Chain A
């Protein structure tokens, strides 16, 4: 990361921060958790609703098998212990976005307990311990319009499946929280259980934070910052909150246990008074749902079907495939690119060439279309044909890029596109030699410089040949030929 040096309130401080996160991940099932309404962001308000998710009397929940399976994938990927028995509980509170007056959640027998998420922080492997992962339903959404004494309620999101991942107070800086979250997001993307689109709220985070004298073991009073939905905001909110708490302590004041809200416009956290007057959720087992049980075999099946996770992937790319850290990291951080890369090297194991072409050219095409690599609809086989053509010198790497665009617009074989565009590299040595000699005779000055040992002039001459051949020459070969001719 090329991050500019940010202000760090903990630098040279007598305090250390203790941070725990509650991460909410919206699962990408087709339907909601307990009813058959569509689970989709962006629909016309209150059109994906039914008697179950509206909390109409007599309507009963019916749990979505896919949501439970997705959750188990996440739980096993995070190394949680999964009991053979898990149940749902009611969490009771009143709020307009919660039409039943309770949220179906999990209390004392969640899907997963414990666990650990590994990631890299400044090149070092780090890990955060998890407390638990449970499955629950999301609430609806309230909006407010300035100047009107009402709030607007949209219940499309009410009842959609939500995974809550709770960490131990194991994190000690904003940077660590950010690295953990980015990696957790990647894990969910590789598992295919969520789109983790933070702008649409499919990944949100509550942060619990306190500070204590460096080296102390006890926990001090914490504040909670709710509903952060961007990595940037999470890191900024943590910085602000750590500074605020240090200031309080240094003035001899106490941190109050409260919920605070981060305001990105002012870059500060504010107390959210008037929220829950009391946290008394009176949990009890949800009588309208059966518990769920799993056999060891079922869990083993899911575990063995899990994809390779980001940290393992990164290690494979660098140590087994010989990629440099930087391109390996770029690939792993874009799960679509990494999955495409793996499909390509199955067909053509030149990892460096393939990585290069994905990261430089294919990603550029995807970015210019504002989409991901998988949406380009390109078959790994056709892409590999292009990389092979460049590696074999059929087309120059410069012109290879011009081949890619038409490849995305038609199903024509790569060789056909290359010949239609007239981009075949000059492979006939005598033809190339003719061009090289012509350029050498036209540029006596640089030729003298090369003879005098000036390397840069070789590049100039190669450039002239490339220009002359409209990019169809192989620059490596041209340089070689220039060397041969001039040293003869």
Chain B
């Protein structure tokens, strides 16, 4: 099974990633994606008949912590790496009219 990297595929991923790409960038990504898929595609040659998918790289389970707090970052430290802020908030280009949260 191989995936054909088309303009549409790159454009769809760009939309999902909230990126505006130029023609040159689309061509660049097409080439890049093809290489990645080709490389990973080598795995397809292996016979995995009867082998369960391995969802995790370790066998560990239930690595859980107690519900105990630790200090958070000071506001100015939290905002520092952000391209734009107005303490105590991060600032982003205006999203849409009404949505308060994307959580779904």
A: residues with CB less than 8 A from B are: 24, 29-31, 36-38, 44-51, 54, 56, 62-68, 87, 92-98, 103, 138-144, 148-155, 162, 206, 226-227, 261, 263, 270, 272, 274-275, 277-278, 280, 282, 285, 287, 289-293
| A148 CB contacts on chain B under 8 angstroms | 94
Q: Is the CB of A31 within 8 A of B91?
A: no
User: Given contacts A49-B72, A280-B16, is CB(A292)–CB(B64) below 8 Å?
Assistant: yes
Measured between C-beta atoms, what is the minimum distance from B1 to chain A in Å?
17
Q: With an 8 A cutoff between CB atoms, is B40 at the interface?
A: no
Q: With an 8 A cutoff between CB atoms, is B18 at the interface?
A: yes
Measured between C-beta atoms, what is the minimum distance from B68 to chain A in Å?
7
Measured between C-beta atoms, what is the minimum distance from B79 to chain A in Å?
7
Q: Please, how many angstroms separate the alpha-carbon atoms of A148 and B92 in the complex?
A: 11
| B91 CB contacts on chain A under 8 angstroms | 150-153
| B88 CB contacts on chain A under 8 angstroms | 44-47, 154
Q: Please, how many angstroms separate the alpha-carbon atoms of A290 and B59 in the complex?
A: 8
Output the nearest chain A residue to B58 by Cβ-Cβ distance: A290
User: Given contacts A94-B17, A142-B101, is CB(A56)–CB(B81) below 8 Å?
Assistant: yes
| A64 CB contacts on chain B under 8 angstroms | 64-65, 67
Complex A-B, nearest 10 residue pairs according to Cβ-Cβ distance, in ascending order: A66-B67, A95-B102, A36-B70, A65-B64, A139-B103, A152-B89, A153-B90, A96-B92, A45-B88, A285-B55
Output the nearest chain B residue to A49 by Cβ-Cβ distance: B78
Q: Please, how many angstroms separate the alpha-carbon atoms of A226 and B60 in the complex?
A: 37
Q: Please, how many angstroms separate the alpha-carbon atoms of A154 and B89 in the complex?
A: 6
| B68 CB contacts on chain A under 8 angstroms | 30-31, 36
Q: Please, how many angstroms separate the alpha-carbon atoms of A227 and B100 in the complex?
A: 8
The B40-92 residues at the A interface (CB cut-off 8 A) are 55-58, 60-70, 72-75, 78-79, 81, 84, 86, 88-92
Q: With an 8 A cutoff between CB atoms, is B35 at the interface?
A: no
Q: Is the CB of B79 within 8 A of A46?
A: yes
Q: Please, how many angstroms separate the alpha-carbon atoms of A154 and B75 in the complex?
A: 11
| A272 CB contacts on chain B under 8 angstroms | 96, 98-99
Q: Is the CB of A37 within 8 A of B72?
A: yes
Q: Is the CB of B17 within 8 A of A29?
A: no
Q: Jot down 13 A-B pairs with beta carbons below 8 A, ordered by A.
A: A37-B69, A45-B88, A46-B78, A47-B72, A49-B72, A49-B78, A50-B70, A62-B64, A62-B65, A66-B66, A153-B91, A206-B104, A289-B63
Measured between C-beta atoms, what is the minimum distance from B54 to chain A in Å?
10
| B62 CB contacts on chain A under 8 angstroms | 290-293
Q: Please, how many angstroms separate the alpha-carbon atoms of A64 and B68 in the complex?
A: 9
Measured between C-beta atoms, what is the minimum distance from A136 to chain B in Å?
8
Output the nearest chain A residue to B66 by Cβ-Cβ distance: A65
Measured between C-beta atoms, what is the minimum distance from B102 to chain A in Å?
4
Partner of B92, one of A36, A138, A150, A274: A150
| A152 CB contacts on chain B under 8 angstroms | 86, 89-91
| A68 CB contacts on chain B under 8 angstroms | 64
Q: Is the CB of A285 within 8 A of B56?
A: yes
Measured between C-beta atoms, what is the minimum distance from B29 to chain A in Å?
16
Output the nearest chain A residue to B84 by Cβ-Cβ distance: A150
Q: Is the CB of A63 within 8 A of B100?
A: no
Partner of B16, one of A56, A94, A206, A291: A94
In the complex, besides A44-B75, A46-B78, A291-B56, 8 extra interface pairs with C-beta distance below 8 angstroms are: A31-B68, A37-B72, A38-B72, A95-B102, A155-B90, A227-B100, A277-B15, A290-B56
The B1-57 residues at the A interface (CB cut-off 8 A) are 12, 15-18, 55-57
Measured between C-beta atoms, what is the minimum distance from B20 to chain A in Å?
13
Q: Is the CB of B65 within 8 A of A291?
A: no
Output the nearest chain B residue to A279 by Cβ-Cβ distance: B104
Q: Please, how many angstroms separate the alpha-carbon atoms of A98 and B91 in the complex?
A: 13
Q: Please, how many angstroms separate the alpha-carbon atoms of A68 and B74 in the complex?
A: 28
User: Given contacts A50-B73, A290-B63, is CB(A149)–CB(B94) below 8 Å?
Assistant: yes
Q: Is the CB of B102 within 8 A of A139?
A: yes
Q: Please, how many angstroms separate the alpha-carbon atoms of A446 and B99 in the complex?
A: 70
| B103 CB contacts on chain A under 8 angstroms | 24, 97, 103, 138-139, 162
| A138 CB contacts on chain B under 8 angstroms | 103
Q: Please, how many angstroms separate the alpha-carbon atoms of A274 and B98 in the complex?
A: 11
Q: Is the CB of A287 within 8 A of B56?
A: yes
| B89 CB contacts on chain A under 8 angstroms | 45-46, 152-154
Q: Please, how many angstroms separate the alpha-carbon atoms of A151 and B69 in the complex?
A: 30
User: Given contacts A149-B94, A151-B92, is CB(A50)–CB(B72) below 8 Å?
Assistant: yes
Highest count of chain B CB atoms <10 Å: which of A68, A93, A162: A93
Measured between C-beta atoms, what is the minimum distance from A276 to chain B in Å?
8
| A46 CB contacts on chain B under 8 angstroms | 75, 78-79, 88-90
Output the nearest chain B residue to A87 by Cβ-Cβ distance: B55
Measured between C-beta atoms, what is the minimum distance from A406 to chain B in Å?
39
| A49 CB contacts on chain B under 8 angstroms | 72-73, 78
Output the nearest chain A residue to B18 by Cβ-Cβ distance: A94
Q: Is the CB of A96 within 8 A of B95?
A: yes
Output the nearest chain B residue to A262 by Cβ-Cβ distance: B98
Highest count of chain A CB atoms <10 Å: which of B67, B73, B89, B103: B103
Q: Is the CB of B94 within 8 A of A150?
A: yes
Q: Is the CB of A63 within 8 A of B63?
A: yes
| B63 CB contacts on chain A under 8 angstroms | 62-63, 289-290
